[in-house]
Amino acid sequence: MKIKGSIVLLGLILIFTKAYTQENHLKNLKQLTFGGDNAEAYFSPDGKFLSFQSNNKKWGLECDQIFSMDIEKASNDSTYKPTRISNGLGRTTCSYFMPNGKEILYASTHLGSHACPAETHVPGKYLWAIYNEFDIFVADKNGKYKRQLTTTPGYDAEATVSPKGDKIVFTSTRSGDLELWTMDIDGKNQRQITNGLGYDGGAFFSPDGKKLVFRASRPTTEAEVKEYKDYLAKGLVAPTTMEIYTCNIDGTDLKQITHLGKANWAPFFSPSGNKIIFSSNHHSDKGYDFQLYMINTDGTGLEKITTESKFNAFPMFSPNGKKLIFSSNRNNGGTRDTNLFIADWED
């Protein structure tokens, strides 16, 4: 009886462990890129294409450039090479499809220099560079330059487009801090909407276009404020302490959604607009273990979405809500590569 009982107990433990570790919301997972760092992949309005950034050395890249991917082709051909949208000069980041589905906006440093900007390293610190040379541009899906949306001195990047097709939100240092700004789809009527000291960035609109979700740091102690300002003066930010916030598109009704500690970032609204999916390392002892989580917009109901690998971030739902795209370092053969993965989403 003891042996049989032990076997039954072991079986229950194994079943429970398997259920706990499964990524139950993600079905039919497919890898879309194979090599380099591939990130910030966002769907076209029809859900058939992705814009993203990559530094894949096999494509002759020295630093991040913007690409457009045909999802069906990438899903069926591991040798498929997407179309480069950026001009190959400088460094680029944060692309997003325009409402017509034929154009893509992105930020680039190429007007400051044709070379990749130098990276700054501080021993013992994980830092992001905030290059003042970044401005926001628009090109078509074949990479033909169309227009420049920002010209004000300072960092202008991290732009995304409202599902309503009328507004763009972006992050800028033009007022002296990393704040959220909005502008009309043609670049006019640029307006600051956040004012709290700290890094406000990575904003996305809600499905109805009435709300924004974003990541923010809020230094409070004298030492934290000094460190933040000192780094910002050098064009750097330490993204190790951030929480998820929401607000109306005019900046009103600002709310802190997470209170988890450590780095909570890359948020995106669920198709219903009632939940937020994001990346977090709050559960990790060592810091570098980012998993996707979902939370209600009132801050309740935290749920872990991914369990595989040590880095999962930049989630985005397809326009019809049936697919999820994200970046992960799973299945990279022990390298440091981060690739794009797409899955069917099941509630």
- Report in angstroms the alpha-carbon separations of 315 from 19, 40, 167, 268, 312: 22, 8, 21, 7, 8
Contact between residue 163 and residue 210 where contact means Cβ atoms under 8 Å apart? no
**CATH code at 311?**
2.120.10.30
Mean pLDDT per 10-residue section of the chain, whose length is 347 residues: 41 38 92 97 98 97 97 95 97 98 98 94 90 98 96 98 98 98 98 98 98 98 97 96 98 98 98 98 89 98 97 98 98 95 97
Question: In the numeric block, which tokens belong to residue 184?
Answer: 């009309």
pLDDT at residue 2, as a whole number: 41
The 8-class DSSP code of residue 131 comes to -
Q: Is residue 99 part of a domain?
A: yes
- For the beta sheet containing 145-148, the strands, ordered from the edge strand earlier in sequence to the opposite edge, are 92-97, 103-108, 135-140, 145-148
Number of domains in the chain: 1
Q: Is residue 9 part of a domain?
A: no
Show the CA angle centred on residue 217, arms to residues 213 and 221, nearest 5°: 150
Q: What is the DSSP string of 7-30?
A: HHHHHHHHHHHHHHHS-TTEEEEE
Q: Is 31 helix (H, G, I), strand (E, B) or coil?
A: strand
Q: Is residue 167 part of a domain?
A: yes
pLDDT at residue 21, as a whole number: 53
Domain containing 158: what range?
28-345
Q: Is residue 218 part of a domain?
A: yes
Reference 178, options 136, 244, 145, 131; nearest CA is: 131
Residue 234, Cα to own-chain centre: how many angstroms? 23
Q: Is residue 194 part of a domain?
A: yes
Cα torsion 185, 65, 315, 82 to 10°: value is: 100
Q: Is residue 11 part of a domain?
A: no
Reference 78, options 340, 344, 345; nearest CA is: 340
Alpha helices, DSSP H only, in the chain?
A: 2-21, 71-76, 222-233
Q: Is residue 206 part of a domain?
A: yes
Burial 35-57 (b: 16+ CB within 10 A, else e): bbbbbbbbbbbebebbbbbbbbe
Cβ neighbors of 18 (< 8 A, separation 6 or more) are none
Contact between residue 310 and residue 290 where contact means Cβ atoms under 8 Å apart? yes
Burial 253-286 (b: 16+ CB within 10 A, else e): eeeebbebebbbbbbbbbeebebbbbbbbbeeee
Cα dihedral across residues 321, 322, 325, 329: positive or negative: positive
Q: Is residue 195 part of a domain?
A: yes
